[in-house]
C-alpha cells in the first residue's frame, strides 16, 4: 500500500486568523507523496471553506464524506470511485485517476486546478492537456504521479517529464518564468533559461513544497522555486525559475559535488530526501524540522540524527522506508513500520503525547498511550505530515493526531490530540462507534484530510456437481458458492442453465424458469470464508442418447466480485438409455 503527499503553505492572513481561532509503505523509488494505489472511492474531511473536500459544498466536515464524481453537482448522486493518488494543496486538491488523468477541486484563483480558468470548483473537474485553452477539448493524460503546493500543481508523466500549472510568482512552475499558468506546461531542463528549448526528463518522483518543488532524477535531486532559508539545497538563498542540482552533504556554494543515491523526496516548508535509508534535510530548521539536533537553517543537506542522539550527532536515523515533510515544520518517517517524528510539536503534531518541539526524532505513541509512552505506533503502512496534523494507516485503519480546530482529524470532534486516534467511518458522529477501514492512501493537507479506500469486494467462487439418482431419469445438481473474501457478500444470484432436454426442475431455495430452462439461486449475506449450497433436481422425459451439459454462473453480487475467473462451473451427465442417466 502506498500513500502521500502534496505540499502546501498557509497564507499569512489565513495563518494569523487560524491561530487566533484556534497515505503498503511507499516504494523507495517513488515519492511517497504521489505513488499510486489500486483505484477506489475518494473521501475527505476537515476544512472546506474553498471546497477543497470536493463534496459539492463549502461545509466543514468532522468525519469523512465521499468526494463527488467529476462534473457532478450537489447533492451529488455519483461519487469519485476511481482515485489512485491524492495531493492536497493549500486549499485545492488533486486526484490521480485510474485512467491516468487528473481531477481537481477547490480554490483556483491562480489556476491551480488546471482547467483553464480561475473559477473555484466545489466538485472535481478534469485538468486540461498541455497548451489547451478553456473550455478544454483535451485533458492531461498519461500521468503517473501528482503533487500540490501552496497554489500550484505538478504532474509526472509516463515518459519521465514533469508538467506544472498554477501560481508562479516565485518560479514555482519551473518553466523559466514567473507568469501564472491555468493549464499544464513543461518544466525546464536543469540550468536552462526561458524560453526553454529543452525540458526536464528521466524523473522518477516529484514533490511540491509550500513554494518550491523537487524532482528525483537518476538518484539526484533537482529543485526550483522559492529558496527561502535555503530550501532548494544549492548552497544559496537565490530563487530559481528552472531546476538546479541539490548539493552534496557538506558542500558549499558554488557546489561542485551533488547529492546522489536518493530514492525518495518530499517537501514542505523544508526539503527531505531518502538516501540509503537515511533521511537528509535542508531549508527551514527553526523548530528542528531537519532533525540534525539543531535549529540552524541549512542551504545544503544534513543527515537526520538517530532517536536519542544530540548534536553533533554521532549516529543517524537509518533503515527508513518512508519520509514526509510537513508544511508547518515537522517531519515523519517509518522505520520497520514504526512511526517517527521530529520538528514542531504544535498542538501535539508529533504524536509523542507532548507539545514539546524535537530537533531529533522521537517515536509516535500508540493509540491510547500517554506520555511518557511505553508503546508506539507500529505496523504502519503509510504516514503523511500535514501542516499541524499527521495521518497514518495501520492495517487499513486511518489514524490522526495534532491540531483538530477545523475537524481535520476526522474523529467527529474539535479536540486536539497529542497521540493517535482513529478516523471515524463515513456517516459516523462522535463518539464514533464505527471507523474508517480498507484505507489504502491518506494525505494531510493544511486544515483538511483525504483518503482513498479499497472497493469492498467479495470473491464468490461457484462449483457445480451433478449426480443421478439410482432410479428414474433425473439429475441432482449441487451448487456450492464459497466467498473467498476479502469482504462479506451482501447479495447475489447464481444461475443454473439446465440441459435442453429438461422437462421440469425443483428446488427448496431456487426458482425455476421453464421458458428459459434456467434456475435462479439467491446468495444472501455470506461472510468471507463461508459457503452455501443449493440443490436442484432436474427431471427428464424420454431421452435421446448423449451428453446432458449444464452450467452454473454467478450472474450478480454485491459488493463487486474481484475475480471473475472462478464465477462459473460446468457438469455433464450422459443419457445411456432413453430412461437411464449416468453422471
Predicted pLDDT of residue 405: 97
Q: Are residues 332 and 447 in the same domain?
A: yes
**Is 340 inside any structural domain?**
yes
Predicted pLDDT of residue 194: 92
Using alpha carbons, select from 66, 107, 270 the residue that is nearest to residue 280: 270
**Is 7 inside any structural domain?**
no
**DSSP-assigned letter for residue 360:** E
**Is 424 in a helix, a strand, or coil?**
strand
Q: Are residues 404 and 478 in the same domain?
A: no
Burial of 174 (0-12, 13-18, 19+ CB in 10 A): buried
Using alpha carbons, select from 522, 459, 455, 525 the residue that is nearest to residue 490: 525
Predicted pLDDT of residue 36: 63
Give the start-end residues of each E strand in 198-317. 203-208, 212-217, 220-225, 240-245, 262-267, 270-275, 278-283, 298-303
Give the list of residues 6+ apart from residue 50 with CB closer than 8 angstroms, or none: 58, 91, 92, 106, 107, 120
Predicted pLDDT of residue 503: 94
Can you say whether the dihedral through the CA atoms of 309, 314, 319, 323 is positive or negative? positive
3-state helix, strand, coil in the chain (%, to 5): 5, 45, 50
For the chain, how many residues are written? 583
Residue after which a domain boundary falls, among 385, 419, 453: 453
Give the list of residues 6+ apart from residue 58 with CB closer than 8 angstroms, or none: 48, 49, 50, 51, 122
153 CB neighbour count, 10 Å cutoff: 32
Omega within 30 of 0 (cis) for the link into 572: no
Alpha-carbon distances of 269 from 205, 272, 524, rounded to whole Å: 18, 10, 53
Q: Are residues 373 and 224 in the same domain?
A: yes
**Is 243 inside any structural domain?**
yes
Cell of 572: 455433464
Q: Are residues 444 and 463 in the same domain?
A: no
**Is 565 in a helix, a strand, or coil?**
helix
The domain that holds 500 is classified in CATH as 2.60.40.1530
Q: What is the pTM of this model?
A: 0.81
Q: What is the pLDDT along the chain (583 residues), one digit of tens a residue?
A: 333 333 333 333 333 222 222 233 332 333 334 456 778 999 999 999 999 999 999 999 999 999 999 999 999 999 999 999 999 999 999 999 999 999 999 999 999 999 999 999 999 999 999 999 999 999 999 999 999 999 999 999 999 999 999 999 999 999 999 999 999 999 999 999 999 999 999 999 999 999 999 999 999 999 999 999 999 999 999 999 999 999 999 999 999 999 999 999 999 999 999 999 999 999 999 999 999 999 999 999 999 999 999 899 999 999 999 999 999 999 999 999 999 999 999 999 999 999 999 999 999 999 999 999 999 999 999 999 999 999 999 999 999 999 999 999 999 999 999 999 999 999 998 999 999 999 999 999 999 999 999 987 889 999 999 999 987 789 999 999 999 988 889 999 999 999 999 999 999 999 999 999 999 999 999 999 999 999 999 999 888 899 999 999 999 998 888 888 999 999 999 999 888 899 9
Question: What is the share, in percent, of the chain residues with pLDDT greater than 90?
Answer: 86
Q: Are residues 357 and 504 in the same domain?
A: no
What long-range pairs does 340-343 form, CB within 8 A, spacing at least 24?
Answer: 340/307, 340/364, 341/385, 341/390, 342/288, 342/289, 342/291, 342/304, 343/287, 343/288, 343/289, 343/290, 343/291
Predicted pLDDT of residue 4: 37
**Is 466 inside any structural domain?**
yes
Predicted pLDDT of residue 6: 38
The domain that holds 314 is classified in CATH as 2.130.10.30
Q: Are residues 432 and 482 in the same domain?
A: no
Predicted pLDDT of residue 9: 33
Cell of 418: 497529542
Q: Are residues 172 and 201 in the same domain?
A: yes
Q: Are residues 237 and 127 in the same domain?
A: yes
Residue after which a domain boundary falls, among 424, 453, 482: 453
Q: Are residues 569 and 516 in the same domain?
A: yes
The sheet that has 83-88: what strands, in order across it? 83-88, 92-97, 102-106, 121-126
Give the list of residues 6+ apart from residue 433 with CB closer than 8 angstroms, or none: none
Cα(297)–Cα(313) distance, integer angstroms: 16
Whose cell is 435442453? That residue is 500
Q: Are strands 511-513 and 546-558 parallel, antiparallel or unpaired?
A: unpaired
Burial of 255 (0-12, 13-18, 19+ CB in 10 A): buried
Domain region containing 551: 458-582
Cα(282)–Cα(367) distance, integer angstroms: 31
The sheet that has 212-217: what strands, in order across it? 203-208, 212-217, 220-225, 240-245
**DSSP-assigned letter for residue 501:** T
Q: Are strands 491-497 and 518-523 parallel, antiparallel or unpaired?
A: antiparallel
Give the list of residues 6+ apart from residue 202 with CB closer than 8 angstroms, or none: 160, 217, 218
Cα(129)–Cα(102) distance, integer angstroms: 10
Q: How many domains does the chain fold into?
A: 2
Q: Are residues 338 and 325 in the same domain?
A: yes
**Is 21 inside any structural domain?**
no
Q: Are residues 462 and 449 in the same domain?
A: no
Q: Are residues 338 and 387 in the same domain?
A: yes
Residue after which a domain boundary falls, among 453, 475, 509: 453
Amino acid at each position: 500500500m502506498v500513500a502521500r503527499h502534496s505540499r502546501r503553505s498557509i497564507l499569512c492572513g489565513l495563518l494569523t486568523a487560524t491561530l487566533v481561532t484556534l497515505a503498503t509503505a511507499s516504494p523507495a523509488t517513488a515519492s511517497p507523496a504521489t505513488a499510486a494505489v489500486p483505484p477506489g472511492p475518494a473521501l475527505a474531511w476537515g476544512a472546506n471553506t474553498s471546497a477543497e473536500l470536493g463534496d459539492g459544498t463549502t461545509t466543514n466536515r468532522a468525519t469523512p464524506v465521499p468526494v463527488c464524481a467529476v462534473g457532478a453537482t450537489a447533492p451529488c448522486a455519483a461519487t469519485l470511485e476511481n482515485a489512485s493518488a491524492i495531493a492536497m494543496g493549500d486549499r485545492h486538491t488533486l486526484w490521480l485517476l485510474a485512467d491516468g488523468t487528473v481531477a481537481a477541486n477547490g480554490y483556483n484563483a491562480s489556476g491551480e486546478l488546471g482547467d483553464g480558468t480561475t473559477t473555484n470548483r466545489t466538485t472535481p473537474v478534469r485538468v486540461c492537456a498541455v497548451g489547451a485553452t478553456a473550455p478544454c477539448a483535451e485533458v492531461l493524460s498519461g500521468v503517473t504521479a501528482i503533487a500540490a503546493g501552496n497554489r500550484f500543481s505538478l504532474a509526472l508523466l509516463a515518459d519521465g517529464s514533469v508538467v506544472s500549472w498554477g501560481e508562479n510568482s516565485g518560479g514555482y512552475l519551473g518553466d523559466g518564468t514567473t507568469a501564472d499558468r491555468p493549464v499544464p506546461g513543461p518544466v525546464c531542463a536543469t540550468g536552462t533559461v526561458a524560453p526553454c528549448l529543452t525540458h526536464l526528463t528521466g524523473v522518477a518522483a516529484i514533490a511540491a513544497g509550500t513554494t518550491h518543488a523537487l524532482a528525483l532524477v537518476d538518484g539526484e535531486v533537482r529543485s526550483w522555486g522559492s529558496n527561502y532559508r535555503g530550501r532548494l539545497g544549492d548552497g544559496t538563498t537565490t530563487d530559481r525559475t528552472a531546476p538546479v542540482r541539490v548539493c552534496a552533504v557538506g558542500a558549499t556554494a558554488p557546489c561542485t559535488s551533488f547529492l546522489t543515491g536518493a530514492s525518495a523526496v518530499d517537501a514542505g516548508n523544508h526539503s527531505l530526501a531518502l538516501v540509503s535509508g537515511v533521511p537528509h534535510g535542508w531549508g527551514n530548521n527553526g523548530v528542528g524540522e531537519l532533525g540534525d539536533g539543531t535549529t540552524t537553517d541549512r542551504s545544503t543537506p544534513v543527515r537526520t540524527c538517530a532517536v536519542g542522539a544530540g548534536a553533533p550527532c554521532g549516529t543517524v536515523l537509518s533503515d527508513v522506508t518512508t519520509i514526509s515533510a510537513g508544511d508547518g515544520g515537522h517531519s515523519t518517517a517509518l522505520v520497520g513500520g514504526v512511526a517517527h517524528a521530529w520538528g514542531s510539536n504544535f498542538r501535539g503534531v508529533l504524536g509523542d503525547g507532548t507539545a514539546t518541539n524535537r530537533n531529533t526524532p522521537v517515536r509516535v505513541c500508540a493509540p491510547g498511550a500517554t506520555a511518557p509512552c511505553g508503546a508506539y505506533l507500529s505496523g504502519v503502512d503509510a504516514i503523511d505530515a500535514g501542516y499541524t496534523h499527521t495521518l497514518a494507516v495501520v492495517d487499513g485503519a486511518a489514524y490522526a493526531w495534532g491540531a483538530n480546530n477545523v475537524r481535520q482529524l476526522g474523529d467527529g470532534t474539535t479536540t486536539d490530540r497529542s497521540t493517535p486516534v482513529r478516523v471515524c467511518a463515513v456517516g459516523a458522529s462522535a463518539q464514533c462507534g464505527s471507523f474508517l477501514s480498507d484505507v489504502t492512501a491518506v494525505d494531510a493537507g493544511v486544515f483538511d484530510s483525504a483518503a482513498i479506500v479499497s472497493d469492498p469486494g467479495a470473491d464468490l467462487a461457484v462449483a457445480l456437481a451433478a449426480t443421478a439418482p439410482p432410479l428414474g431419469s433425473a439429475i441432482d445438481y449441487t451448487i456450492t458458492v464459497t466467498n473467498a473474501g476479502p469482504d462479506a457478500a451482501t447479495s447475489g444470484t447464481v444461475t443454473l442453465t439446465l440441459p435442453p432436454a429438461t422437462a421440469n426442475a425443483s428446488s427448496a431455495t431456487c426458482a425455476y424458469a421453464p421458458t428459459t430452462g434456467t434456475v435462479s439461486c439467491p446468495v444472501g449475506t455470506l461472510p468471507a470464508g463461508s459457503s452455501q449450497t443449493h440443490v436442484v433436481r432436474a427431471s427428464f422425459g424420454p431421452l435421446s442418447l448423449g451428453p446432458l451439459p449444464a452450467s452454473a454462473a454467478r450472474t450478480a453480487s454485491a459488493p463487486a466480485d474481484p475475480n471473475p475467473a472462478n464465477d462459473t462451473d460446468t457438469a455433464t451427465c450422459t443419457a445411456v438409455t432413453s430412461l437411464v442417466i449416468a453422471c
